[in-house]
Amino acid sequence: MMGKGTEITTSLKRLDLNSNPSKSSLFSPTLQSPGLLSCRLGKSKPPSLVSLCLGVIGKNLQEIIAHLNDISIAFPPHIKMTIAAIARRRKMLCDEVIIPLADTSWEILDISGSEVTDSGLIEVAKTCKFLQAIDISRCNKITASSVSVLVEHCKSLQTLRCGGCPRSDYTARCCLTLLKPKLDDMVKDSWEELDIVEISHNAESLRWLVWPKIDKDSLEMLATECPRISVNPKPSPFGFRGKDVPMEAFPDTVLDDLFVQEINPSTWAACGFTLKPVSPILSSSKELSLAEKFRLAFVERDARLAPKRAKNARQHQRRSDREWMEMSAEAKAIVLASQMGVGINSFLSTSIHSGVGWGEEWLYTAGDLVAMAYDFY
């Protein structure tokens, strides 16, 4: 133990803590900045103690997931974001991780390629109401229902990144109705009293949509009905349609890259973590199986035709009721009695006062009811 202490003391004595640039150096004074000095030496800037600690946490993330609810309370927002970014790169980002880490001050969120479900995204949307950019691409467990809650709670959302796989493309197509402007019926004494916030909703703040493999029909629909939304903008010194494009809207930008710049990449290649087994069909190809494509196509067609089927069912019911009214003598009697202001009970009570007893158990047919109605009036 004494030998170890002596070694550390000797090392500290050899350490030059004098930052005076007047001493002789191998470099000219113009190259004394840390960045240029690091480039000249061919070495990167040494990681901070916080980065090293986060690397240790990332390598042992599977052991603390169950306790994130308790320990994440003490973390500042950027540390929570870094842990979420490491978890995503380790294929461990799920509801149990993202929900306790979500912070009210977050302005970006990258859950692309993760196992986050609708429940997780809904909880995050309720917490992170100031999100301006979100990446949900390649998320197979997210549907339009959670995206609807997202645009409802995050009023500052400007950039949405989606698609990247067949299921995510399908979700993006289902979300197109959420992007179109929609007005609610409001009742006021005059139009001047109406507030634009009260009568309009559906992602009014959204300006940038990153959807790499958007289909032609969806692109035309957005261009026609949502001209405020720019799809897949390209980097340009002149901007896009006269607007400055944020970095989050470029397809090559990874939203959470900034938070893991100082983290050793070996952190998300940690030993001892085994990915979930993937079926040979899905692992050999990025495309879904033919049966799955047919299933998704059927579900999409079924959802598209559901309103028409409901309308046809209502028309068929009305037609059946009308035919029954026209063909059934009993129905004619009921209608005639209702039009004359006398119900069936009135006919029966009239017949009783006329001397017809219940003990005789008379059975009135539809024709009898019609005849009684005419006789009564």
Provide the residue-wise pLDDT of the chain in tens; the chain has 377 residues: 445 444 544 443 444 434 343 433 333 333 333 333 343 444 567 888 999 999 999 999 999 999 999 999 989 999 999 999 999 999 999 999 999 999 999 999 999 999 999 999 999 999 999 999 999 999 999 999 999 999 999 999 999 999 999 999 999 999 988 887 765 555 555 555 555 444 445 668 899 999 999 999 999 999 898 888 999 988 776 666 657 889 999 988 999 999 999 999 988 875 444 444 434 433 334 566 777 777 777 777 787 788 888 888 888 888 887 887 777 777 677 767 676 655 555 555 555 455 444 444 444 555 565 565 555 55
Is there a domain that residue 334 lies in?
A: yes
Judge if 54 and 163 occupy the same domain: yes
CATH number for the domain including 227?
A: 3.80.10
Judge if 169 and 234 occupy the same domain: yes
Domain that holds residue 66: 47-185+195-271
Residue with tokens 């959802």: 303
Judge if 327 and 238 occupy the same domain: no
Is there a domain that residue 5 lies in?
A: no
Contact criterion met (CB below 8 Å) for 269 and 91:
no
- Residue that finishes a domain, picked among 271, 287, 310: 271
Instruction: Kindly tell me the sign of the dihedral angle through the C-alpha atoms of 313, 319, 322, 324.
Output: negative
CA-CA distance, 87 to 93, in Å (whole number)?
Answer: 5
Is there a domain that residue 265 lies in?
A: yes
DSSP for residue 212 = T
Q: What region does 278 belong to: left with phi over 0, alpha with psi -120 to 50, or beta?
A: beta
Judge if 216 and 329 occupy the same domain: no
Hey, what amino acid is at 177?
T
Is there a domain that residue 95 lies in?
A: yes
Q: How many domains does the chain have?
A: 2
Judge if 82 and 148 occupy the same domain: yes
Judge if 311 and 240 occupy the same domain: no
Judge if 110 and 250 occupy the same domain: yes
Backbone angles phi, psi at 256, to 5 degrees: -100, 15
Judge if 267 and 305 occupy the same domain: no
Is there a domain that residue 294 lies in?
A: no
Judge if 171 and 215 occupy the same domain: yes
Judge if 238 and 320 occupy the same domain: no
Is there a domain that residue 54 lies in?
A: yes
Judge if 258 and 310 occupy the same domain: no
Give the pLDDT score at 168: 93
pTM equals 0.58
CA-CA distance, 142 to 135, in Å (whole number)?
Answer: 12
Is there a domain that residue 15 lies in?
A: no
Judge if 248 and 309 occupy the same domain: no
Contact criterion met (CB below 8 Å) for 126 and 148:
no
Is there a domain that residue 2 lies in?
A: no
